Structure 1
Amino acid sequence: MKAYIFPGQGAQFSGMGKDLYEAYPEAQKLFEDANRILGFSITDIMFEGEAEELRQTRVTQPAIFLHSVILSKVLGEAFTPDMVAGHSLGEFSALVSNGTISFEDGLKLVSQRADAMQKACEAQPGTMAAVLGLEDEVVESVCAQTPGIVVPANYNCPGQLVISGELEAINQACDKLKEAGARRALVLPVGGAFHSPLMQPAREELAAAIEETTFSTPICPVYQNVTTTAVTDITEIKKNLIAQLTAPVKWTQSIRQMIADGATEFNEVGPGKVLQGLVRKVDSEVPSRSVEIPEKGV
């Protein structure tokens, strides 16, 4: 069974999507549609922008979404998913790829999500930190015992967990985690405390937008970050998508469940190669690769 996986924030790079735009009329049309929907030329920033511009949340999230979704669309009949999953933001790409939401609605939701998250970051500053070399249970215990808001945010692979929360709480937790034997506990250069209770205002804003969006029955199950299980029910998909903003991304658990349910290969659709590396760390026996842009083009 073929699993297709979609990356999240952090996979962006200058020049992303330009080869798609130049090779495929369908891709060019979708990129131009995106400029119209967003109200600014995201293609200019994606194709020619500096790294600093691409790091802005309002740009990063739509840019990665566009690269992933447009790549899946130009694959045409070669895109044959039996199951899909996306890491954080990538869950929206996955839901467009399996027919749950339209390209236009997906882009609008991603843009609204990015704006809502940015506002939440500005309202209550926070940060995230990567923790390497500890069991998940140890990290969870340290977070629970640290004063303030600090929670597990991304279960990326065995021995790699990202925590999220208030600035002081994160710093204290990092000190405790190093004492507990962490190989590294490093504060990340991010704009806020994603996947933590500090994102509650963004969750409420996104919930309203999701409830107004048309969702259709998907062509294959999505393994959502919140539940880690195969989901096809529209009501449950919406609920999980809303919960995702303040809940952890259970990527390790999702990959394990997909393998248990029959995944025999993982195909990463979008910029970068982060997810296939995480898959290998979860289970090195299951093949994982990047989806390349088809040679056929203009």
Structure 2
Amino acid sequence: MSVHAFVFPGQGSQSVGMGLGLYEAFSVAREVFQEVDDALEEHLSKLIFTGDTAELTRTENAQPALMAVSLATVRVLEAEGGFKLADKATVVAGHSLGEYSALAAAGALGIAQTARLLRLRGLAMQEAVPAGEGGMAALLGVDADLAQEICTEAARVAIEGEAERQETIELANDNGGGQIVISGRLSAIERAIALAKTKGVKRAVLLPVSAPFHSSLMGAAADRMAEALAKAEIATPAIPVIANVTAAKNTDATRIPDLLVRQVTGSVRWRESVQAMAAMGVTSQIELGAGKVLTGLARRIVPDMTARNAGTPEEIEALLRDL
């Protein structure tokens, strides 16, 4: 018998039209999108279903939008299956903003509150560093040790006649399967890309993002989230949630604000999170919401673990036959 973990995607999985099939087919999905619209006092659902790709990709829109699709998927799955997620899963987790989706799915956060927190998170992260000063890059075919070596070298700025100085560049995501994302000052990121090519890295590409997420440059954003999360209503999750910054499960509601604040500047330890699931006895990972990025990563991190995604009525119907 399979032991399931449910996981929730992060930024980059968004696409115009995601969740529309759920909205059209299920009243419980419509209720989720309406709750998010009401919480943000705007028609985010219209942007999700028929809007402009560039506008949806804006961080402050993508974050609550992806959560809305994930939670609509959860509600449909529960309604059609006649169970609660906690009845079917050993643990839940989410990649970056997906951790908020996981917490909402586990009952620690309400949907409206989660939407407002993610809108603030997106704005705070965007505003923490002036446009053009920060960046991120993906290194493919690399392990964490080599990625850290590249960052250490790329951080150094030597100018003739001046003392050497350091620029911020850090590991942002350890996604597993030889994929590491680095984040920091754009000039340091560009040096890292050049260095990577001399160190046998399979591929190094600048990512189309507007800020250095998950780096210490996000300190101002972390401060804003700390203030908001201190006021948030957080319940004990009905099921353990693996935190990005610890790669360990948590059920203590009092720890959640600190874990989410640390996540803004800390690395997303996704490879270790999936390995932790396997250590808990998880044999099946199910990605709920838009896209299938985490499904692909799971297959590379723990090949023996089955992985699938569900975010459409057809995929939910197929999943329910196997749960």
CA offsets per residue over residues 136-192 of structure 1, 9 Å max, x none? 101112212322110010101131100000010001111111111111111011011
TM superposition shift of 1:239: 1.1
Which letter maps to 2:139?
V
In the alignment, the residues of structure 2 paired with residue 244 and residue 124 of structure 1 have an alpha-carbon distance, to the nearest angstrom, of 23
Equivalence for 2:119: 111
In the alignment, the residues of structure 2 paired with residue 194 and residue 272 of structure 1 have an alpha-carbon distance, to the nearest angstrom, of 21
Show the 5 A alignment for 1:220-239. 220-239=239-258
Match of 1:37 among 39, 60, 66: 39
Equivalence for 2:162: none
Equivalence for 1:63: 65
For residues 124 and 234 of structure 1, do their structure 2 counterparts lie closer, same or farther at Cα, with a shift above 3 Å needed?
A: farther
Equivalence for 1:177: 196
Match of 1:271 among 270, 290, 293: 290
User: In the comparison of the two structures, how many residue pairs are matched?
Assistant: 296
Corresponding residue SS for 1:118 = helix
Q: Is the 8 A contact 1:267 1:290 kept in 2?
A: yes
In the alignment, the residues of structure 2 paired with residue 103 and residue 151 of structure 1 have an alpha-carbon distance, to the nearest angstrom, of 32
Equivalence for 1:160: 179
Equivalence for 1:95: 103
Stretches of structure 1 lacking an aligned partner (at least 5 in a row): none
TM superposition shift of 1:133: 1.0
Match of 1:206 among 213, 218, 225: 225
Q: Is the 8 A contact 1:156 1:252 kept in 2?
A: yes
Stretches of structure 2 lacking an aligned partner (at least 5 in a row): 157-166, 319-323
Which letter maps to 1:168?
S
After alignment, is 43-52 or 117-126 more displaced?
117-126
Which letter maps to 1:73?
R
Which letter maps to 1:128?
M
In the alignment, the residues of structure 2 paired with residue 123 and residue 45 of structure 1 have an alpha-carbon distance, to the nearest angstrom, of 24
Q: Is the 8 A contact 1:124 1:198 kept in 2?
A: no
Same amino acid, percent of matched pairs: 39
In the alignment, the residues of structure 2 paired with residue 69 and residue 33 of structure 1 have an alpha-carbon distance, to the nearest angstrom, of 11
Corresponding residue SS for 2:92 = strand
CA offsets per residue over residues 1-32 of structure 1, 9 Å max, x none? 21000000000111111111111112212212
CA offsets per residue over residues 89-128 of structure 1, 9 Å max, x none? 1000000001111111111111111111121133773010
Corresponding residue SS for 1:52 = helix
Corresponding residue SS for 2:12 = coil
Is 1:127 matched with 2:127? no
Q: Is the 8 A contact 1:64 1:271 kept in 2?
A: yes
After alignment, is 121-130 or 173-182 more displaced?
121-130
Which structure is larger by alpha-carbon Rg, 1 or 2? 2
Which letter maps to 1:280?
R
Q: Is the 8 A contact 2:18 2:69 kept in 1?
A: yes
Which letter maps to 1:239?
D
Which letter maps to 1:205?
R
After alignment, is 136-145 or 200-209 more displaced?
136-145
TM norm structure 2: 0.89
Corresponding residue SS for 2:75 = helix
In the alignment, the residues of structure 2 paired with residue 60 and residue 188 of structure 1 have an alpha-carbon distance, to the nearest angstrom, of 16
Match of 1:192 among 200, 211, 225: 211
After alignment, is 184-193 or 31-40 more displaced?
31-40
Q: Is the 8 A contact 2:283 2:304 kept in 1?
A: no
Match of 2:307 among 259, 282, 288: 288
Instruction: Let me know the Cα RMSD of the aligned residues.
Output: 1.5
Match of 2:89 among 72, 81, 85: 81
In the alignment, the residues of structure 2 paired with residue 158 and residue 152 of structure 1 have an alpha-carbon distance, to the nearest angstrom, of 15
Q: Is the 8 A contact 1:121 1:191 kept in 2?
A: no
Corresponding residue SS for 2:267 = coil
TM norm structure 1: 0.96
Which letter maps to 2:49?
F
TM superposition shift of 1:33: 2.1
For residues 189 and 124 of structure 1, do their structure 2 counterparts lie closer, same or farther at Cα, with a shift above 3 Å needed?
A: closer
